[in-house]
Amino acid sequence: MKAHATEAEIQDVIKMVEALDYRAHVIRGVERSVVACVGEERGESHSLQHLESVAGVDRVMPVLRPFKLASREVRPEGSVINVGGVPIGGKRLAIIAGPCAVESGPQVEGAADAVKRAGGHLLRGGAYKPRTSPYSFQGMEDEGLLLLENAGRRVGLPVVTEIMDAHDIDLVADHADMLQVGARNAQNFSLLRRLGKVKNPILLKRGMSTRLEEFLMAAEYILSEGNPNVVLCERGIRTFETATRNTLDLNAVPLLKEWTHLPVIVDPSHGTGIWSLVTPMALASIAAGADGLLVEVHPDPRTALSDGPQQLKPERFAQLMAALAPVATAVGRSL
Amino acid sequence: MKAHATEAEIQDVIKMVEALDYRAHVIRGVERSVVACVGEERGESHSLQHLESVAGVDRVMPVLRPFKLASREVRPEGSVINVGGVPIGGKRLAIIAGPCAVESGPQVEGAADAVKRAGGHLLRGGAYKPRTSPYSFQGMEDEGLLLLENAGRRVGLPVVTEIMDAHDIDLVADHADMLQVGARNAQNFSLLRRLGKVKNPILLKRGMSTRLEEFLMAAEYILSEGNPNVVLCERGIRTFETATRNTLDLNAVPLLKEWTHLPVIVDPSHGTGIWSLVTPMALASIAAGADGLLVEVHPDPRTALSDGPQQLKPERFAQLMAALAPVATAVGRSL
Amino acid sequence: MKAHATEAEIQDVIKMVEALDYRAHVIRGVERSVVACVGEERGESHSLQHLESVAGVDRVMPVLRPFKLASREVRPEGSVINVGGVPIGGKRLAIIAGPCAVESGPQVEGAADAVKRAGGHLLRGGAYKPRTSPYSFQGMEDEGLLLLENAGRRVGLPVVTEIMDAHDIDLVADHADMLQVGARNAQNFSLLRRLGKVKNPILLKRGMSTRLEEFLMAAEYILSEGNPNVVLCERGIRTFETATRNTLDLNAVPLLKEWTHLPVIVDPSHGTGIWSLVTPMALASIAAGADGLLVEVHPDPRTALSDGPQQLKPERFAQLMAALAPVATAVGRSL
Amino acid sequence: MKAHATEAEIQDVIKMVEALDYRAHVIRGVERSVVACVGEERGESHSLQHLESVAGVDRVMPVLRPFKLASREVRPEGSVINVGGVPIGGKRLAIIAGPCAVESGPQVEGAADAVKRAGGHLLRGGAYKPRTSPYSFQGMEDEGLLLLENAGRRVGLPVVTEIMDAHDIDLVADHADMLQVGARNAQNFSLLRRLGKVKNPILLKRGMSTRLEEFLMAAEYILSEGNPNVVLCERGIRTFETATRNTLDLNAVPLLKEWTHLPVIVDPSHGTGIWSLVTPMALASIAAGADGLLVEVHPDPRTALSDGPQQLKPERFAQLMAALAPVATAVGRSL
pLDDT tens readout for residues D128-155: 998 888 888 889 999 999 999 999 999 9
What pLDDT does residue C20 have?
80
What pLDDT does residue D46 have?
52
Q: Does C12 touch chain B (CB under 8 A)?
A: no
Angle at C250 between CA C249 and CA C256, to 5 degrees: 100
What pLDDT does residue B1 have?
86
Residues facing C293 on adjacent strands = C95, C266
Q: State ipTM.
A: 0.91
> What does the alpha-carbon distance between residue A248 and residue A279 come to, in Å, rounded to a whole number?
13
Q: Taking CB atoms and an 8 Å cutoff, what residues of chain D touch B30?
A: 38-40
What pLDDT does residue B277 have?
97
> What does the alpha-carbon distance between residue B136 and residue B141 come to, in Å, rounded to a whole number?
14
Q: Of B49, B54, B189, which has the smallest distance from its Cβ to A130's Cβ?
A: B189
CA-nearest residue to D240 within chain C is C239
What pLDDT does residue A47 have?
67
What pLDDT does residue A33 have?
84
What pLDDT does residue D41 have?
59
- The residues in A 260-299 lying below 8 A from B, measured between CB atoms, are 274-275
Backbone torsions φ then ψ of B325, nearest 5 degrees: -55, -50
Confidence of residue D44 (pLDDT cuts 50, 70, 90): very low
Q: Does A52 touch chain B (CB under 8 A)?
A: yes
**Contact: B40, D25; criterion CB under 8 Å:** no
Which of C34, C37, C246 would best serve as a mutation to test chain A binding (most A beta carbons within 10 A)? Answer: C34
CA-nearest residue to C242 within chain B is B211
What pLDDT does residue C41 have?
59
Q: Does A303 touch chain D (CB under 8 A)?
A: no
Residue B44 clears pLDDT 50, i.e. is over it: no
A146-150, B328-332, C135-139: segment of lowest average pLDDT: C135-139
Q: Of D49, D164, D207, which has the smallest distance from its Cβ to C309's Cβ?
A: D49
What pLDDT does residue C43 have?
47
The arithmetic mean of pLDDT across residues C86-105, rounded, is: 97
> What does the alpha-carbon distance between residue C93 and residue A19 come to, in Å, rounded to a whole number?
48
A62-66, A79-83, A194-198: segment of lowest average pLDDT: A62-66
User: Which of helix, strand or coil describes residue A120?
Assistant: coil
Residues facing D231 on adjacent strands = D203
CB A202 within 8 A of CB A231: yes
What distance in Å separates residue C317's CA from the closest CA in chain D? Answer: 14
Q: Does A197 touch chain B (CB under 8 A)?
A: no
CB C283 within 8 A of CB B331: yes
Q: Does B324 touch chain C (CB under 8 A)?
A: no
CA torsion through residues A297, A301, A303, A304, sign: positive
Q: Of C239, C242, C284, which has the smallest distance from its Cβ to B288's Cβ?
A: C284
Q: Of B68, B184, B304, which has the smallest distance from its Cβ to A50's Cβ?
A: B304
Q: Does A258 touch chain C (CB under 8 A)?
A: no
H or E, element range at C160: strand C159-162
The arithmetic mean of pLDDT across residues C119-140, rounded, is: 92
Helix axis angle, A314-330 to D314-330, nearest 10°: 150
Give, in order, the Cα–Cα distances in Å from A131 to each of A139, A230, B193: 9, 24, 12
CB C36 within 8 A of CB A36: yes
Angle at D76 between CA D161 and CA D251, to 5 degrees: 60
What pLDDT does residue B43 have?
47
**In chain C, pLDDT over 70 holds for what percent of residues?**
97
Beta-carbon count within 10 A of A173 CB: 16
Residue A44 clears pLDDT 70, i.e. is over it: no
A24/A46: higher pLDDT:
A24
**In chain A, pLDDT over 70 holds for what percent of residues?**
97
Residue D204 clears pLDDT 70, i.e. is over it: yes
Give, in order, the Cα–Cα distances in Å from A263 to each of A202, A230, A236, A292: 11, 8, 17, 9
What pLDDT does residue D65 have?
77
Give CB contacts under 8 A, 24+ apart, made by D26-32. Answer: D27/B25, D27/B36, D27/B38, D28/B38, D29/B38, D29/B39, D29/B63, D29/B64, D30/B38, D30/B39, D30/B40, D31/B64, D31/D3, D32/B63, D32/B64, D32/D1, D32/D2, D32/D3, D32/D5, D32/D58
**Contact: D36, B30; criterion CB under 8 Å:** no
CB D93 within 8 A of CB D282: no
A91-95, A152-156, B176-180, D55-59: segment of lowest average pLDDT: D55-59
The arithmetic mean of pLDDT across residues D212-241, rounded, is: 97
> What does the alpha-carbon distance between residue A228 and residue B303 come to, in Å, rounded to a whole number?
34
Residue A283 clears pLDDT 50, i.e. is over it: yes
**Contact: B31, D64; criterion CB under 8 Å:** yes
Confidence of residue C44 (pLDDT cuts 50, 70, 90): very low
What distance in Å separates residue D239's CA from the closest CA in chain B? Answer: 5
What pLDDT does residue B179 have?
98
What pLDDT does residue C35 have?
86
> Which pLDDT tens digit goes with each residue over C231-288?
999 999 999 999 999 999 999 999 999 999 999 999 999 999 999 999 999 999 999 9
What distance in Å separates residue D225's CA from the closest CA in chain C? Answer: 9
What pLDDT does residue C45 have?
46
**Contact: B27, D29; criterion CB under 8 Å:** no
- The residues in A 118-177 lying below 8 A from B, measured between CB atoms, are 130-137, 164-167
Q: Does C255 touch chain B (CB under 8 A)?
A: yes
The arithmetic mean of pLDDT across residues B297-304, rounded, is: 88
Q: Taking CB atoms and an 8 Å cutoff, what residues of chain C touch B254?
A: 276-277, 280-281
Q: Of B213, B276, B283, which has the smallest distance from its Cβ to C258's Cβ?
A: B276
Confidence of residue C40 (pLDDT cuts 50, 70, 90): low
Q: Does B242 touch chain D (CB under 8 A)?
A: yes
What pLDDT does residue D334 have?
97
Residue A163 clears pLDDT 90, i.e. is over it: yes
Q: Of C47, C193, C274, which has the smallest distance from its Cβ to D136's Cβ?
A: C47
What pLDDT does residue A41 have?
59
A39-43, A233-237, B96-100, B294-298: segment of lowest average pLDDT: A39-43
Residue B39 clears pLDDT 80, i.e. is over it: no
What distance in Å separates residue B170's CA from the closest CA in chain C? Answer: 35
Beta strands in chain A (DSSP E): 23-28, 33-38, 81-83, 86-88, 94-98, 122-124, 159-162, 178-181, 202-205, 230-234, 264-266, 292-296
Please give the interface size between C and D, counted as residue pairs whose CB atoms are below 8 Å apart.
Answer: 142
Confidence of residue B41 (pLDDT cuts 50, 70, 90): low
Residue C181 clears pLDDT 90, i.e. is over it: yes
What pLDDT does residue D40 have?
67
Q: Of A254, A274, A287, which has the smallest distance from its Cβ to D287's Cβ?
A: A287
> pLDDT averaged over chain A?
92
